[in-house]
Chain A
Amino acid sequence: MTDNGVADPTAFLTCAELVALVTEYFEDALSVAERARFEEHLSACPSCRTYLAQMRTTVQALGRLDEESVEPQVLDALMGAFRDWKKA
């Protein structure tokens, strides 16, 4: 068993193994051989292509989260903490 949980590094990846490697694939953390096996599986497996596309959509949605503005009472609390810190 490898660190990535893949049983045999020379065998065709299973769908379950590919699913476990998607983040390593996105983060470009697979070896050249692992990446080749990953892409070989993808080319033959429409279900895993669907899963990969959905994971991309998920990551993209996370990147679109907006930041809220600071509530006035929070700003007051932080300014108060800063003044306390200066006095100390």
Chain B
Amino acid sequence: MSDRARVDAALVTAVGSGDEQALGRLIARHHPAVARFAAVVAGPEVGEKVALDAWRSFFDRLPAIASPAAGAGRAEIDVRAELLGIVADALPDVSTELATRERIDPERFFEDEHPRWAGSWAQPPRPWTSGVDDAARVRLVTDALAVLRPWSGAAVVLRDVEAMTVDEAAVVLRISTGEFRQLLADGRIGIWRWLDQRLEKGHVAR
């Protein structure tokens, strides 16, 4: 596992014995990511509250994580995955999102009955404007994350922002890897569509 998990393990042990300085470090290391994930999962209006509640739940679990009797001394603890998993409890039932796929506008492809070009691009993607720097593109994907459906947004954050593996992320969300990849694909399509609508026209908000 990672250096992060090893440092976390030492901090969790200290926090379990009441060390507030260690808690401050743990918060600085993980709260920004937890708050961002919570905003995607539960909406920006309540994201911060969901993130705070996740920490409270984490404190409740500390005896199980950090006490010597509970196997402490664990060399590695992935605190971020623990917290993100708690936040994921705020997600609605996954079945709705799994049942309705995110798609590129069907009109961009020739219909299945087309005699020659069935399934080919009718309106192919045009190259994005070259006058957009990385910072502007990052601002756009930040905006796009806010409009994704919650499960798709959660999948994109865990895989593409947090750089978890598919297996790790599926465990955090407590779904299968196949379901995770479907949600990830939907989320990426949603973000691509958002970018395409803006970059193709050379329009960059802000």
Chain A residues with a Cβ under 8 A of chain B: 3, 14-17, 19-20, 22-24, 27, 29, 47-48, 50-51, 54-55, 57-59, 61-70, 74-75, 77-79, 81-82, 85-86
Let me know if B28 and A70 touch, CB within 8 A. Answer: yes
CB distance from A72 to the nearest CB of B (A): 11
Which of A16, A20, A67, A79 has a CB less than 8 Å from the CB of B33? A67
Let me know if B59 and A74 touch, CB within 8 A. Answer: no
Which of B36, B52, B185 has a CB less than 8 Å from the CB of A77? B52
What residues on B are CB-neighbors of A55 within 8 Å? 188, 192
Q: A65-B36, A78-B52 are in contact. List 11 more A-B contacts (CB 8 A).
A: A14-B118, A15-B109, A15-B120, A19-B104, A55-B192, A68-B32, A69-B32, A74-B31, A79-B20, A81-B55, A82-B55
CB distance from B18 to the nearest CB of A (A): 6
Let me know if A57 and B59 touch, CB within 8 A. Answer: no
Number of A-B contacts defined by CB within 8 Å: 122
Bound-complex Cα distance A58 to B33 (A): 19
Let me know if A23 and B188 touch, CB within 8 A. Answer: yes
CB distance from B122 to the nearest CB of A (A): 9
Let me know if B56 and A24 touch, CB within 8 A. Answer: no
Let me know if B121 and A47 touch, CB within 8 A. Answer: yes
What residues on B are CB-neighbors of A14 within 8 Å? 109, 118-120
User: Known interface pairs A51-B125, A81-B52. Does A23 touch B185 (Cβ–Cβ under 8 Å)?
Assistant: yes
For residues 124 through 152 of chain B, which have their beta carbon under 8 Å from a beta carbon of chain A? 124-128, 134, 137-138, 140-142, 145
Q: List 17 A-B contacts (CB under 8 A).
A: A14-B119, A15-B121, A22-B188, A47-B125, A48-B121, A50-B126, A54-B196, A58-B195, A62-B145, A69-B28, A70-B27, A74-B48, A78-B23, A78-B31, A78-B52, A82-B15, A82-B55
